[in-house]
Every structure is written in C-alpha cells, then in structure tokens.
Amino acid sequence: MQENIERRYLILDPPMLEMTFLNIHLDPYSVDQKYVIFLIPTLRPPPLPQEEMANNHQLIMNLAMALVLGGSSSPTTNRSMKIMLWWSRGANYLDFRRNLHFLFNWNNPTILCLMETRIEDHTSLLNEFNFTDRIQVFAQGYSSGIVMLWRAHDLIVDPIAITAQELHASVQADAP
C-alpha cells in the first residue's frame, strides 16, 4: 500500500540577506531528468546590537503571521522575498492549477518558479496568478518548460543566462 508522504522543510535564512542568485537547470547526471536548484545568497553587514534586539522581535511576529492562511513569513520591510519552487510535470492540468491556487493563496510567494511545465508560452500563468513579469524557457513539444514569475513592484530580477534547460537570474528585494 502506497502512503501519501508530505515533506516540509523549514529553512532558516539569515535576516541580513541582501540578494540571492537563483539558478534552475536539469541535472545532467539524473536518469529521471530532475531539476537542480541553487540559491546563492549575498549578506548585508551585521547590525548594531540595538538593531539586533528589534530584529528578534520582528522575526517572532513574522513566524506568527506565516501560520495563518495567506499570511507571510516575510518581514514587513521591502527587502524580503518568499520563493515557491515546483517541479510541476505539466502546468496545464486542471488538478495542477487547483493545487497551485491553494498553495499560492496559503503561502503568498514573491517568486514562483515552475519546472517541467510542458507549456510553450507561460502568459496564462502570468495573468492567472497576478504576476507582472516572467523569465521563461519554452517547452519542447510535451517536455521541458521552465518559468519564473514575479511582481516588478516587489523585486528587481535580472536574467543572467537562459538556455533550453536552465535559467539563471539575479534577484534583489529592492523594488524601484
């Protein structure tokens, strides 16, 4: 009998995160063509002791907000982001869209990255989930397809390299 196993990972990142480079590509050594995701952070200088006390209180408040529907674990400053990654194996399916809406409403991500979308153009996802910008790798027939969606008023995203199997971008939580 097969059990449904849910895995959740809590990743504690430093509160002084300045910028993150996000690289998504196919693992060349994987037989199943699984994707590899790299997050490369850049940290800000450490705060003064009195600032650190204020930050600890803010982190407790953010954790409480993350536990409510539609809440965000992001600090209330404009220098924060929440990234949601999903190896979708087909983003046009009704079940996928329904599940994505549920997870999207619950987590309220700043960036949404989908791999193996099997979609040639991701404009429908851009509009359906109220994002303003995207970087995409078009699907090749019924395989591949990568998209990274975000709102321009929240982030600065600079594409670095886009190939048939990967995309590289610099992401900053400093909206103009």
Domain boundaries, given as residue ranges, for the chain: 17-172
Cβ atoms of 43 and 20 within 8 Å: the answer is: no
Quote the pLDDT of residue 42: 60
Alpha carbon 54 to its chain centroid, in Å, reads 27
pLDDT score at 144: 85
Residues 6+ apart with CB under 8 A from 112: 84, 86, 104, 125, 129, 131, 147, 148, 149, 150
In this predicted structure, what is the pLDDT of residue 25?
63
Q: Which residues of the chain have pLDDT under 70?
A: 1-80, 174-176
Could you tell me the pTM of the whole model? 0.59
Strands (E), the chain: 17-26, 35-43, 83-87, 111-115, 133-137, 146-150, 156-162, 166-172
